[in-house]
Structure formats: structure tokens, C-alpha cells
Amino acid sequence: MFDLTITGGLVVDGTGSAPRHADVGIVDGRVAAIGRLDGAARRTIDASGQVLSPGWVDVHTHYDAQAFWDPTLSPSPLHGVTTVFGGNCGFTIAPLGIDRVDPADADYLMRMLARVEGMPLESLRDGVPWDWVSTADYLDRLDGTLMPNAGFLVGHSALRRVVMHDDATSRRATPAEVAQMAALLRAGLAAGGMGFSSTWSPSHNDHTGTPVPSRAADRDEVLALCAVVGEFPGTTLEFIPQVGPFSDDTVELMAAMSRAARRPLNWNVLAVQGQAWEQLDGQLRAGDAAAATGAKVVALTLPDTLRTRLNLHSGFVLDLLHGWDALMALPVDEKLRQLTDPVQRAHWDELAQSTPMPIRGLANWAGYRLLETTTPRWQPHVGRTLGDIAAELGAEPWDVLADIAVDDRLRTVISAVDRFQDRAAWELRVRVWRDGRTLVGASDAGAHLDMIDSFGYATTLLAKAVREHGLLPIEEAVALLAAAPADLYGLVDRGRLVEGARADLVVFDPDTVGPAPVETRFDLPGGAGRVYGGAVGVGHVLVNGVPVVDGGQLLDARPGTLLRSGVDTRTVAVA
């Protein structure tokens, strides 16, 4: 007797093998049989005309906090994602202390997360308990509560803050402090943390405008913590390097991190938006340099345009402009005062225009499209570029943006015009995905809730690269979305639809699958909003053999496994 059978579907198993028509039988959360089935089933799903594949594995999310107020980790399961990894970029919310929670450290990490990952402060304050001490406590709190499978890295900024407190952002650690961080990391990995994450990206500043704690670490500290990772099986590394072309020092550092841990390192993000191949290859050479020294460095690449919905309230991304980290760290009322004063307004634009290229492109105000505004005065202009609006009004584009933002109390949303949806852009993306130095992923789901919709990366890949442009056979697409990320993390019995594997499965219509329209929903704790979008053509999703999505709707089941390193993952060799 099968617990569940899925019949009549076209099985694309993630191994790269050609699709084949077969039925699938599930017993005790695992794939028990594939082919012509003998025996009854307690429930049957008819997948006629549909594709049946392993569920997608998303290795770069920030669901660490959302897991408490939304254990479905929506909208990822609606897009066929059955396994997520959080704790990226060094921005974890555990540990919160050494022997006890220090309220000042918990408050700092909450506010840092709100600033650097675009999560509403009121939601973090009202929706997260902030009362665990260790990584083990945090993982235990989530175990058995989630819809998809989920694993979590141990973050550098959290380690640094609970050891060094207010000094975490201002100086090097002493040897004794590095030893304390190593002990906390060791405890977190022993409890099942998936590895170690950190950032040196200049885009990562805390709520005071100061570089986040991990950016104050020196090379020796980073390598000492990477070495701890090598003590535990089934672990990995994740790192955010510099913005733009890599320096030789950055390339060497990532290779050294991988060697110290004897584990793969993945870095985020390689955005493919019409660049020349030589530009992309310049960053991908980090993988070659690592391989030449016995290390492994892999670029996470987003399979779509990195569309950003920017605003002057959070200021994320815009704070890369020269001097704007200070402006974006100001309280709302002070920002409004500065943007209302003509002299200060002009000062901030002058600073922005003095930014070196290519970052100065962020200050091309005329090229942004007005996406959302809250005031009737500006509503008729939604969808137009600031350049067009300014020309009509006889004003400068920056002044138009500042006027709208002041009227909106900074809630105005702008977005660059997406010019990278033609066939040539998708051909370049497919070339990048097929490069052995990359991995499809980088969704950032759960972060920048007012800014991005890349949670739909998998359904977008299937809709654009497979169906619309015919650039990728479906068996290769499934391998990229499921097997390849599962292999990077060493996931045991996941990522492929084979007998004996965990029954993490998705049933989708290849003729219609894609992302649904995006909207702003005000469903977060504290009444805050987020960018949200479901999927089209994803009929069923199963996690550990239990249906969690039916007809495009989330169900009540919470069958996800809290993944623990060395138990649910095996060690991946770096060479």
C-alpha cells in the first residue's frame, strides 16, 4: 500500500536523463517506486499532462526571522521550492549571547537586520521572540514547525557582536575574542548549523550607517573561523565579497577561506544583465584561482534581471553612492528635512554624482520608473520615467524624485527600466549557468521585502529560458534548480527523483509555469508590507511526501525537516 501515488506525469528526475512517462509511489515520505505501479494508494494525484520533478533547492535565503511569524516561508513553496538555506551573509539571529541573552546585543542584531536586509523593524520586533541564547536553542525552536525543509548557517556578524558588543564594528578582535567566536561557531556547528557565512561588501551597513561587524574583521580572524568549519562534516561556506570587479586580494581571500575549511565557498551575487562575457569571466576567475590551489569557489547567479524596487526610506543599494550611507542612516524626519531644504538636497545629489563608475549609475535619476506612490498628486505619473516627468514639469529628475519622496514620507518606490529580457540576454544567462564555476540561486527570499521579487527565480527560469526562448531542455533546467544546489551542500537523498530519495516533489504545467503578478501585501507583523507574488502552473508541491501546495494554494501541513549538518548533509570535497 502506497501512502500516495502520482500518476500520468512526465518524470524529469534531476539527473539530466531524458524525461519519461512514469508513475511514482510514496511510502513514509520517500520515493518507493517509479514506473508502472502495482498496489493501491491512500491518495492519488493525477499529473496527466504535467511534469513531475524533484523540488527546487534555494541555497540563498534570509528566512531566519520570518520562520517565526510565517512557518510556510512564503512565497517560496508556491514556486516549487522544497528546501531553503538561511543564515547567509553573516546576518543570523543566533547566537544572541554566550551564557545569557544580552538585550543590547539582541536589539543591535534586530536593528542591523532591519537595515541591511530590508525587513520591517516593527515585524522583527513584534513577530520574533528574541529569547534564545545559542544557535542550538534557535534551531530547536524551529524544528518541527516549518513547511519546507530548512538549514541555517552561523553568521559572522552575530558571533562578533555577542563577543565584542559595541566594539564589534570598530576594531580588530583580540586573540581571546577570536577564540570565543570560534567556540560559539563550534557549538553552533555541533548543533547542526550548516556552516559559516560572512560579508565584506561595502553595501552592508548597519542602522547607524556603520559597516556591519564582519566588515571590521581582519583576514586572520576570517580564516580562523573558516578553519573551525573544517572540523565538522557536511558543512560549507558562504561569503559576500566586494561590489564590482574583484581585486586580486578578494580572489585570494576566497580561495584561502575554502582551503582553511576544506569546504566549498559560494559567493553572491553574479547578476547577468547584458555585460560582455569578459566582464563576467573576470569575476568567475575566482573559481579558477581557487581550483589551482586545491580550493573550490562557486558564484551564485540569479537567473533573471536583478530588478530592484528602490526607496529612500530604507535606502538599501542607494547607500552605495558616495556619502549616502550617512544620509540613509538618518531618522525619517531628519531625512525629510534634508530633502526639503534646497541646499541640502543639492548637496546630496552632488555627492551621488561624484561616485566612481559603475556605482554612479545608481544616480541616473532620469532612467528610473515611478513604480509606487501614495499621494494623489503623483498617481497619474506611475509607470513613467522620472526623466519624462521632469521634462514635462520643467524640473530636474532628482528634484522630482525628492519632491515625490517628501510627499510620500519616503515611501515612493522607483525601479530601473528592465532592458535585459531579450533573447540575447537569456542566451548569456544560459551560458553562465552552464559554466562550471557557477550555481543558479541567489534568490534572497525573505530579505529586502520592499525591494525585490527574485523569490520567483525558478518559475521564471522555466518560463523564460525553457519555454519562451527554447534555450534549455527541461531536464537540464531541473538539474540546475534541484540537483546542482543539493550537491553543493551535500544534501542526503534530496535533489533527485530516484527510488529511496526523500519525496520532495513538484508537479507543474510546462506550458503555463511562471511567476504570477507581483503586488504589495500588508500581512506582516505590525501591519508592515512586503512584495509578494505566487506562481502560475505549479499545481502540487510535496515535502517529505506530504502535500503542501495544492492548486496554487498553501496547505496547513508543516512536514519540513530542520536540516542539520553531518546528519542531513555529507561533506563535499573541495578539489
| pLDDT tens, residue by residue, 429-458 | 999 999 999 999 999 999 999 889 999 999
In a domain, 496, yes or no: no
Q: What is the pLDDT of residues 84-125, one digit of tens each?
A: 999 999 999 999 999 999 999 999 999 999 999 999 999 999
Cα(58)–Cα(519) distance, integer angstroms: 22
- Of 488, 511, 531, the one marking the end of a domain is 488
Do both 97 and 26 map to the same domain? Answer: no
Residue 208 one-letter amino acid: T
The domain in which residue 460 lies consists of: 57-307+420-488
Residue 495 lies inside a defined structural domain of this protein: no
List strand residue ranges (DSSP E) for 283-391, in order: 297-302, 309-310, 368-372
| Maximum pairwise Cα distance, the chain | 79
**89 and 148: one domain?**
yes
Helix (H) or strand (E) holding 240: strand 236-240
Look-up of cell digits 536589539: 107
CATH code of the domain covering residue 451: 3.20.20.140
Task: Say what the pLDDT of residue 57 is.
Answer: 98
Say if residue 206 is in the same domain as residue 108: yes
* CA–CA distance, 443 with 435 (Å, rounded to integer): 19
pLDDT band at 229 (very low <50, low <70, confident <90, very high): very high
pLDDT of residue 358: 85
Question: Is a pLDDT exceeding 90 seen at residue 315?
Answer: no
Q: Is the pLDDT higher at 8 or at 307? A: 8
Mean pLDDT, residues 216-230: 98
The bridge status of strand 265-271 relative to strand 236-240 is parallel
Residues in the chain: 575
Same domain, residue pair 115 and 191: yes
Q: Give the pLDDT confidence of 503-516 residue by residue, as tens digits.
A: 999 999 999 999 99
Q: Where is the domain boundary, 389, 416, 443? A: 416
- 82 near 42, Cβ under 8 Å? no
What CATH number did the domain enclosing 545 receive? 2.30.40.10
Establish if 381 belongs to a structural domain.
Answer: yes
pLDDT at 3 over 90: yes
Q: Is residue 561 part of a domain?
A: no
Confidence at residue 436, expressed as pLDDT on a 0 to 100 scale: 94
| 375-421 per-position pLDDT tens digit | 999 999 999 999 999 999 999 999 999 999 999 999 899 998 888 99
| 354 within some domain | yes
**Residue-level pLDDT at 549:** 98
pLDDT in the model for residue 521: 87
Are 284 and 261 in a shared domain?
yes
Tell me the one-letter amino acid at 380: P
At 186, phi and psi to the nearest 5? -60, -45
Which pLDDT score is estimated for 312?
93
Please identify, among 372, 398, 416, the residue that sits at the C-terminal boundary of a domain: 416
Tens of pLDDT, residue by residue over 122-166, are 999 999 999 999 999 999 999 999 999 999 999 999 999 999 999
DSSP structural state of residue 41 = B
Residues 384 and 507 placed together within one structural domain of the fold: no
**Rounded (10°) angle between helices 277-291 and 423-433:** 10
Domain count of the chain?
A: 3
Helix (H) or strand (E) holding 251: helix 248-261
Asked if 170 and 277 sit in the same domain, the reply is: yes
Residue 566 lies in a domain: no
Cβ-contact 559, 28 below 8 angstroms: no
For residues 386 and 448, membership in a common domain is answered with no
Predicted local confidence at residue 519, as pLDDT: 83
Residue 574 lies in a domain: no
pLDDT over 80 at 575, yes or no: no
Q: Do 220 and 348 belong to one domain?
A: no
Could you tell me if 152 and 489 are in contact, meaning their C-beta atoms sit under 8 angstroms apart?
no
pLDDT band at 334 (very low <50, low <70, confident <90, very high): very high
Q: What is the pTM of this model?
A: 0.90
Question: Mind listing the pLDDT tens digit for each residue in 186-215?
Answer: 999 999 999 999 999 998 999 998 999 999
Does residue 269 share a domain with residue 151?
Answer: yes
Return the number of other C-beta atoms located less than 10 Å from residue 176's C-beta.
Answer: 9
φ, ψ for residue 339, nearest 5 deg? -80, -15
Strand order in the sheet with 368-372: 309-310, 413-416, 368-372
Q: Is the pLDDT of residue 76 over 80?
A: yes
131: how many CB neighbours lie within 10 A of its CB? 10
Residue 307: pLDDT band (50, 70, 90) is confident
Q: Which residues pair with 228 in a beta bridge?
A: none
Do 227 and 374 belong together in one domain? no
One domain for residues 532 and 465: no
Q: State yes or no: cis peptide before 358, omega within 30 of 0.
A: yes
Residue 493 domain-assigned (yes or no): no
Q: How far apart are CA 85 and CA 59, in angstroms?
A: 5
pLDDT at 451: 86
Strand boundaries in 286-389, DSSP class E: 297-302, 309-310, 368-372
Nearest to 260, CA basis, from 297, 223, 219, 298: 223
